[in-house]
Structure 1
Amino acid sequence: MNKKWIISISISLLIWTSGSIGYFYLKDRVANQVYAESPILKRDTDVPTLKTEVNLKEIIRETQKKVVMVELDDGTVGSGFLYNNNGDIITNAHVVSGATDVKIRTTDAKGYEGKVIGLSMETDIAVVRVEGLKDQPPLEISVNRKLEIGDEILALGSPLGLQNTVTTGIISGTDRELDIAPYKYENVYQISAPIAPGNSGGPLIDRQTGHVIGINSARLEQGSIGFSIPINTVLPLVNSWSETPMKNLPDISKLDGADEIDENKVLETADYLVSYFNESLTYRDYVTAYSMLGSDWQSKVSYEEFRNQYLNTLSLKIEELKINSQNGHVDVETVITAQERENEKKIQSTYRIHYEIAFENEQARIISEKKELLK
């Protein structure tokens, strides 16, 4: 009897142990299968990832080599960029208006002779052929890429004759339309990067690829809003001039509203000049700020005296800016908040400053300022 009891207990223990082991084995196996990474969701390591953005400094360095300054005999300047192996430069029509031969200056300070071979009376586009740049590698152009609001861009050119200038921003609007006599701008990009006279004709660069996607062409005085013509909308016209240069260029000066171009340029220059002047002081770039002064002002104030006036200025912010133009006289009225250091303490002051703008040797300069402390 005892022997049967022992056998019964042993069999029961064997069954119980086998069942427990089987339960935990199945439990772990099923759990591993349930929570294992699904082959459907598993990332395919063979699928190529998106190409990393090109380094910003690399984009700027490579692009600047192919961006040029366009100079006319009257001293006015604009920008352009090399777009093919024929030595052809794309720029704005208003940059080379009235000229047949222009001077081209590259970023390494080399000068070349250029000839206008294409000029539109409707679209603000022109082409200049520079034999000295023939067979040089041009900028790459994105024909099919259409940027959207928020995409990052770079604008290159020579604002106020300051070559190699780069400004950054985003696409802040698309398919914009505006009229700046005598041209009509349709389906253009609105950009946040600052545009000023001298920038016109320079390339708009896609930050992601480093390729040209537009031509910087216009700017509204209010809000520093810039506009760029999409490159793909004008390439057919540009290509036709490159293949068959125009023998006779149209006279844009005879178009209605052509006289407004110069007036707009003066007003835009005044706005940009004052903004850039105060920005240079904020960044303690006194050399650049001093170079914006007129010759009469510079003859009365040395660079050292000018610099010493702003050593205790920490920052300058333009709160209001209004331009008054009458009979060739341009006055820029500003309200500026200044962070200053006084007796080792930081104080904030508000000034009303009037800047008088005039042209010397075809370049805009600040010839005087009148400052009033408001608070």
Structure 2
Amino acid sequence: MDKKIIFSIIVSLLILAFGVFGYFYTKNYTASKIYSESTILKKNSEESSTQTIPEIKEIIRESQKKVVMVELEDGSVGSGFLYNDNGDIITNAHVVDGASSVKIRTTDAKGYDGEVIGISTETDIAVVRVEGLKNIEPLTLSPSTELEIGDEILALGSPLGFQNTVTTGIISGTDRELNVEPYIYENVYQISAPIAPGNSGGPLLDRKSGHVVGINSARIEQGNIGFSIPISAVLPLVNGWSETPMRNLPSVTSFDISSKVNGNKMLETSDYLINYFIESINFRDFVTAYSLLGSDWQSNVKYETFREKYLHINAIKITELKKEIQEDKVIVETILSIEEHNGEKNITKIYNKTFVVAYENDQAKIISEKQEG
């Protein structure tokens, strides 16, 4: 057979083979791409799956900075929370009933004067303006959130005067109605989180977001059932007072908060202040920790030096704490377990430290620290 004919046949067969191979490869490759998972969707799915609910400790820590204790001249206390950057505090009407001015105490033990700028005689809600808290970031409100039975919540406030108390629970009922003269509670949340006198006016937080969904307002002692007014029900009212404060509120003589400080209160405040100081260091919030120091201590130690002192510390745990009043001061003796980063390894040491707490301009401060051994 002619060589040219043989060569042509071979070339034709090769072309045919490559054509068949190309057809099936293209078909299978295209099909795999069509039916394979979209990389964009997969990426979005992975990102969604990695979204986590904030740590409960972080929610509490950030929220407590904006929750306050409301103190009246007669010594009664309630709670409230910062809701806008005008320094306005939402609380319950029954907390400030009969007062035109109150004292506000923040978590860092600072005291401020507050003026009642709005109060309702039907809805248990009021607003107190605190000039000293202007331009401070408020709690985030979530008026569009509608909680359901079983949703987890946090209740913050000052029950029985114990500031910075947090209780956890769930929504145990919705759309509840009750009358506690002279107030009418309609469509309120029933909560399982324990609340007590002093909790009134504190925020109810959604566990998932940490945002305010209600105002803790009432309880039934039998069974310890609490009720919280949805924030959406009162926003129009409080916004109106914030824009146009009410007039002709009853006048009450302002009182000196220092005259209300007794021994038990000093001990309680000192306990809280030392724990808050240690907690701030553990969260590496050195600015807050430094703000708790007395003026003389701050004068002798610059912030940078103070911060440098704690940078190598991983965690501090209070294993023992004893308090004793000496004249106008509280001596707080502690045993601290401190985990330090030393070179390439972590080591834990035990320290005995004594703190002295006293009031400066109606504010509790740590005026000195002494380490033994």
Shorter-normalised TM range: 0.5 to 0.7
Q: Look up the match of 1:157.
A: 157
Aligned equivalents of 1:37 and 1:171: distance in 2?
46
Q: Look up the match of 1:301.
A: none
What is the Cα-based RMSD across aligned positions, in Å? 2.7
The alignment's TM-score, normalised by the length of structure 2, stands at 0.56
Answering whether residue 48 of structure 2 is matched by residue 49 of structure 1, we say yes
Q: Could you report, residue by residue, the CA deviation over 1:53-73 in whole angstroms, capped at 9, with x for unpaired residues? A: 011000000000000000000
* Structure-to-structure mapping, 1:7-46, within 5 angstroms: 39=36, 44-46=41-43
Answering whether residue 210 of structure 2 is matched by residue 213 of structure 1, we say no
**What SS does structure 2 have at the residue aligned with 1:45?**
helix
**What SS does structure 1 have at the residue aligned with 2:223?**
helix
Aligned equivalents of 1:186 and 1:40: distance in 2?
50
Aligned equivalents of 1:65 and 1:74: distance in 2?
25
Q: 1:204 to 1:242 in 2, by over 3 A?
A: same
Aligned equivalents of 2:202 and 2:225: distance in 1?
16
- Structure 1 contact 157–198 (Cα < 8 Å) conserved: yes
Q: Look up the match of 1:134.
A: 134
Aligned equivalents of 1:194 and 1:132: distance in 2?
31
Q: Could you report, residue by residue, the CA deviation over 1:267-326 in whole angstroms, capped at 9, with x for unpaired residues? A: xxxxxxxxxxxxxxxxxxxx99xxxxxxxxxxxxxxxxxxxxxxxxxxxxxxxxxxxxxx
Q: Could you report, residue by residue, the CA deviation over 1:229-260 in whole angstroms, capped at 9, with x for unpaired residues? A: 00011000000000000012389xxxxxxxxx
Answering whether residue 90 of structure 2 is matched by residue 93 of structure 1, we say no
Aligned equivalents of 2:245 and 2:65: distance in 1?
25
Letter in 2 for 1:200: S
Q: 1:162 to 1:40 in 2, by over 3 A?
A: same
Aligned equivalents of 1:37 and 1:77: distance in 2?
67
What is the Cα deviation at residue 44 of structure 1? 2.4
Aligned equivalents of 2:118 and 2:187: distance in 1?
22
Letter in 1 for 2:226: G
* Structure-to-structure mapping, 1:246-285, within 5 angstroms: 246-249=246-249
Structure 2 spans left out of the alignment, 5+ residues = 1-23, 252-320, 323-373
Answering whether residue 68 of structure 2 is matched by residue 68 of structure 1, we say yes
**What SS does structure 2 have at the residue aligned with 1:69?**
strand
Letter in 2 for 1:202: G
* Structure-to-structure mapping, 1:72-83, within 5 angstroms: 72-83=72-83
Q: 1:104 to 1:45 in 2, by over 3 A?
A: same
What is the Cα deviation at residue 41 of structure 1? 10
What is the Cα deviation at residue 145 of structure 1? 1.0
- Structure 1 contact 119–250 (Cα < 8 Å) conserved: no
What is the Cα deviation at residue 203 of structure 1? 0.2
Letter in 2 for 1:127: V
**What SS does structure 2 have at the residue aligned with 1:246?**
coil
* Identity over aligned pairs, percent: 72
Structure 1 spans left out of the alignment, 5+ residues = 1-25, 252-286, 289-375
Letter in 1 for 2:43: D
**What SS does structure 2 have at the residue aligned with 1:60?**
helix
Letter in 1 for 2:77: V
Q: Look up the match of 1:59.
A: 59
- Structure 1 contact 139–211 (Cα < 8 Å) conserved: yes
**What SS does structure 1 have at the residue aligned with 2:144?**
coil
* Structure-to-structure mapping, 1:287-298, within 5 angstroms: none
- Structure 1 contact 160–198 (Cα < 8 Å) conserved: yes
- Structure 2 contact 100–250 (Cα < 8 Å) conserved: no
- Structure 1 contact 121–250 (Cα < 8 Å) conserved: no
Aligned equivalents of 1:43 and 1:153: distance in 2?
35
Aligned equivalents of 2:48 and 2:242: distance in 1?
38
Letter in 1 for 2:225: I
State how many pairs are aligned.
Answer: 224
What is the Cα deviation at residue 46 of structure 1? 3.1
Q: Look up the match of 1:188.
A: 188
Aligned equivalents of 2:228 and 2:48: distance in 1?
31
- Structure 1 contact 119–127 (Cα < 8 Å) conserved: yes
Q: Look up the match of 1:169.
A: 169
- Structure 1 contact 177–185 (Cα < 8 Å) conserved: yes
Aligned equivalents of 1:117 and 1:240: distance in 2?
10
Q: Look up the match of 2:202.
A: 202
- Structure 2 contact 158–199 (Cα < 8 Å) conserved: yes
Letter in 1 for 2:249: L
Stretches (4+) displaced over 6 A:
40-43
**What SS does structure 2 have at the residue aligned with 1:73?**
coil
Q: Look up the match of 1:112.
A: 112
Q: Look up the match of 1:234.
A: 234
- Structure 1 contact 67–82 (Cα < 8 Å) conserved: yes
Aligned equivalents of 1:136 and 1:226: distance in 2?
30
